[in-house]
Structure 1
């Protein structure tokens, strides 16, 4: 918990002084804190959210697409963890939206696209299990077909 608190304190310091070094260190500490809270740790979603927020701030400073991608992925993972605890469809919808944005950052041919496709399929399958929406099923089938061609 104290590692997470230190990272949060550095986030606050960054908000005051705007130092990119402070933000970079906070992001690194958030990553470490997350590593100390493996699933199903009750505070894992909080650590994922803190890391996502730090990464988003870092992206605003340096514009690195890798930073934005990591931020979206961590936030989607935090929402999935929240959904797994609460079962709220709204949370799952938000996670699906973030995974779609992540997929858009990894166009066909991108070396990590398959992971983004797989993550979106997982969320859509969970949502389809709850809502039985045919649109989800169609998208799942399309994405699985894409995966099949990539993994051959």
Structure 2
């Protein structure tokens, strides 16, 4: 069983690497191992709830990445099975409830089952006090409430998510390995509130947070391209809101750098081309030059063959 634990730790590292690089081989290997681990743990085995939770988490990430929302039934059932095996006083019951709530909320967002939304809300109400006491769960609960706001538009959820993410960021001071993730999560939620309310302070703060996150991702960092895009998107919003040409110039420069990190043959090149193309389109409205945007959109469309999930967006731009 010690060997099983060691292999499980290795697959957790693969899952962590997948969340950073989005390499499908990592998630597939994690799922294969976690399936074998659950097979080795019969119903009365003390490791079975953990094995089910690991498998459910990996399958949930796979569904999200592949857009296979109909398959969300599988991880939801696994999360529920893991929860059923964890009694009320189990130390991991809360995190299992929270994972199940996130999965139910995701299915509600895609398929509109009100029973999923109600069940997720009930689970969140049960874990709220525990999450405040257990700081390690604050970030997860903040993401959950943000997702629920996206689905239902309740501003109270968004305000509470931001408050939780601020607490979570305070637990990740300068030098902490997870600070950049906390910065980006809080920036995303402040940006959502800016779109909802139009409060300049929220957008300014989101830009400052993304700048700090980018500074933590030097040229060789695997997350640099996503940080470049995050900051560029917020600066574009700033330009649209205030009309400052310097914001648009900075956004274009950031998207150019992100595109340079995705050379010909890279899986994310078409996305980077489209991101950059929208900026010259905005500049065309501002200055009157649209030739570069057309060229970039044309290259992006050429990379999205018939049947590609993003082809409609390339055709529409």
Contact kept in structure 2, 1:27 and 1:55, CA below 8 Å? no
Pick from 221, 226, 230 the counterpart of residue 110 of structure 1: 221
SS at match of 1:66: coil
Task: Quote how far apart the aligned CAs of 1:37 are.
Answer: 4.7
Q: Does 1:34 align with 2:148?
A: no
Structure 1: runs of 5 or more not aligned: 11-24
Residue 177 of structure 2: SS of its match in structure 1?
helix
Q: What is the aligned counterpart of 2:209 among 55, 77, 98?
A: 98
Give me the TM-score of the superposition, normalised by structure 1: 0.76
The answer as to 2:185 corresponding to 1:74 is yes
1:65 match: secondary structure: coil
Q: Answer whether contact 1:48 1:74 (CA < 8 A) is retained.
A: no
- Highest RCO, 1 vs 2 (Cα 8 Å, sep ≥ 6): 1
Counterpart-to-counterpart distance in 2, 1:33 and 1:93: 21
Task: Tell me the TM-score normalised to structure 2 length.
Answer: 0.39
CA RMSD of aligned residues (A): 2.1
Structure 2's unaligned 5+ residue stretches are: 1-123, 264-317
* SS of residue matched to 2:222: coil
How far apart are 1:48 and its partner, in Å? 4.2
Pair member with larger Rg: 2
Candidates 131, 142, 148, aligned match of 2:259: 148
Partner residue of 2:168 out of 34, 48, 54: 54
